Amino acid sequence: MSVTIGVLALQGAFAEHISALTRFSSPSTSASLKTCIHPIPVKTCSDLLRCEALIIPGGESTTMALLARLNGLLEPLRDFVKSGKPVWGTCAGAILLANGGGQELLGGVDISVERNGWGSQLESFETELHMIGIRNEDVPFRGVFIRAPLILSLTSTGGPDSEPITILSRIPLSHLPNSRIQLWTAPENGPCRRLSEDDPRLIVALRQGRKLVTTFHPELTLDDRILEYFVKNCVLDDPEEALDI
């Protein structure tokens, strides 16, 4: 069995995702795939038509949306997302998959986001995260946050046509940069309030149906466990059949 996974290659960290997919599917890795993964860069509509799943990388979301429109890809990408095929958005990709965010979006995931919610490039940081469902989930995953978006709210109505959202990872309060704690607990307009562990702004990874969102950059590490999770649980939708570990 072979599955073609495309990586939107208009701008951003698409090369890192393709490298990770190639590394992950190589026989020299510790995971022996029952399914052959075939990664391809997606720059045209014909590229997209070859894909059974798609990764939208980190980068600059407004630039990606503009380039997608200029290349005639914006509507085909929206159709791809609406079709129910597996899609993973990281950082800028998470912004584009959100149903609310104040810019030209693809939609498909019931969240509202804020661009650069973790601060500027200078406020980028790394921290250890615990993510449920990945292999060896008791071992922390190193989250790389670079001008990362914030998930402001979950907008799912919970109706019969709305797939449930599974929260996979939150950033611990103790891991927040001090500047973010000060900003969130003392807003310019309104009373100060203590940031709680269940605040949606602490969510950094979630899944809705066959769509995966991470606000950080897993592809900038050599840890392929989140990629493995995407392949097993979203692309193949059959964790038992996906891998021999």
Residues noted as catalytic: 91, 217, 219
Q: Which of 104, 7, 98, 6 is nearest to 63 (CA)?
A: 104
The closest of 234, 14, 17, 214 to 97, measured between CA atoms, is 214
| Owner of token pair 């050599």 | 222
- CA 90 from chain centre, in angstroms, equals 3
State how far the Cα of 43 lies from the Cα of 11, in Å rounded to an integer: 10
Is-contact 156 116, C-beta < 8 A?
A: no
38: its two tokens: 């075939």
Residue pair 152/114 in contact by the 8 Å Cβ criterion: yes
Contact yes or no for 131/205 (Cβ under 8 A): yes
E strands, the chain, where?
A: 2-8, 32-33, 36-42, 53-56, 87-90, 98-100, 109-114, 125-129, 141-145, 150-154, 165-170, 203-208, 211-214, 243-244
